[in-house]
Structure 1
Amino acid sequence: MMGHYHISGLPVVEEGKLIGIITNRDIRFETNLDLIVKDRMTTDNLVTVPVGTTLEKAKDILQKHRIEKLLVVDDDGSLAGLITVKDIQKKEQFPNACKDNNGRLRVAAAIGVNDEATERRRP
């Protein structure tokens, strides 16, 4: 599934609580396709940060631990988010990107109202 969607890692939760992470490193050379996630995921020494951690602090932690994914947890240990190296790179590369409340890019277009524009906007 991760390969199909071009995802390199996923947090693993049980009843909302973070219990591990599975990444390409965990499964890259695995030949036994019958193994379940709990048998391959990383559960020890998870690197986490609390809700509200700045991207600058997250970048420092990612660099210090030489990881690409940083798990964000609340005070109860529930998964609240995931900060990736790509998130930080995109934020630095496109600081003025317009995003909605969920962090998705907003898209808009302007087009004229003359006959030529009307013809161009037809699907």
Structure 2
Amino acid sequence: MQGSQYTVGDVMTHTVVALAGGAMFKEIVRTMEEWGVSAMPVLDGRGRVVGVVSEADLLCKEELRDSDADLTGRPGASAHPAESAKARAVTAEELMNSPAVTVSPDATLGRAARLMAGHRVKRLPVVDDDGVLTGIVSRSDLLKVFLRGDDDITEEIRREVVGGRFPVPLEAVRVEVHEGVATLTGHVPDTSLVPLAIRLVRSVEGVVDVRCALTGPRRRPLLEPDLVDDTEPLRPMGTRPGTAPGR
């Protein structure tokens, strides 16, 4: 994906374990254990995502087992009604959180990260325009861009940022990337472009930080100071050249 932003579709997992709404409690637990996942999307008959069941939803049954909640439907003082309902649930449809928080395969990784942070979830079902499941993206998937090699990042910065923004030969600006930290050095004719270049470099996938040491021409002051002729000593006001004061 050189020269363009990575999208969710580039890093998502295409093979997804999903549940039907009628999946039973113990079947859900067994499936999570077998596949090593902590949450699964729930699908309707057309493959559309209608909810998500997580380990936290399943644990409500265990958490309230010894509480003062009445699992027949009358929660005690320490039980939240929603938790009590989940503790009584036996199918995926009863357990799931709905509507599900989903993301498009065309979304940027930043968009997916903000959704995860905002909804406090570790993974998102990826759906097409019709809501049909096409994959799943996790926090670890979003971090894959930082596995990108330094040479690959360097080449993109030189081509897309330096070559596209500075009217100088590529050799005039040196780009070095080490462990994802990009350093720009050299001389440019217009330093007003430097802040924009830093932002563009920071947006390159895989860049961890940007260090900039670009220099440019010295700016002259807008107003030139008056030049003083220091070849002749200053005279008191009201005297003529060659006339001594007081004469």
TM range (shorter): 0.5 to 0.7
Partners of 2:118 and 2:89 lie apart in 1 by 34
Higher strand share: 1
CA distance in 2, matches of 1:85, 1:24: 17
Letter paired with 2:119: H
Matched, 1:36 2:67: no
What RMSD in Å do the two structures reach over aligned CA positions?
A: 2.3
Aligned length: 94
Task: Return the match for 1:71 from 101, 125, 129.
Answer: 125
Task: Give the 4+ runs in structure 1 shifted more than 6 A.
Answer: none
The residue aligned with 1:82 is 136
Structure 1 counterpart of 2:91, one-letter code: I
Contact 2:124 2:138 in 1 (8 A): yes
What pairs with 1:1-123 in structure 2 (closer than 5 Å)?
1-14=31-44, 15-31=46-62, 35-44=90-99, 46-89=100-143, 91-96=144-149
Q: What whole-Å deviation, never above 9, does each CA across 1:77-118 have from its counterpart, x for those lacking one?
A: 1112211112123x045335xxxxxxxxxxxxxxxxxxxxxx
Which SS does the other structure have where 1:49 is aligned? coil
Q: Give the 3 Å change call, closer, same or farther, for CA 27–92 of structure 1 in structure 2.
A: same
Structure 1 residues 6 and 33, CA gap change in structure 2 (3 angstroms): farther
Q: Deviations over 1:11-67 (max 9, x none)?
A: 1112211111111111123247981211111113x2222231122221122112221
TM-score, normalization by structure 1: 0.64
What is the one-letter code of the residue matched to 2:147? Answer: F
Amino acid at match of 2:35: Y
User: TM-score scaled to structure 2, two decimals?
Assistant: 0.34
Structure with greater helix share of residues: 2
Name stretches of at least 5 consecutive residues in structure 1 with no aligned partner.
97-123
Identity of aligned residues (%): 29
- Rg bigger for which structure? 2
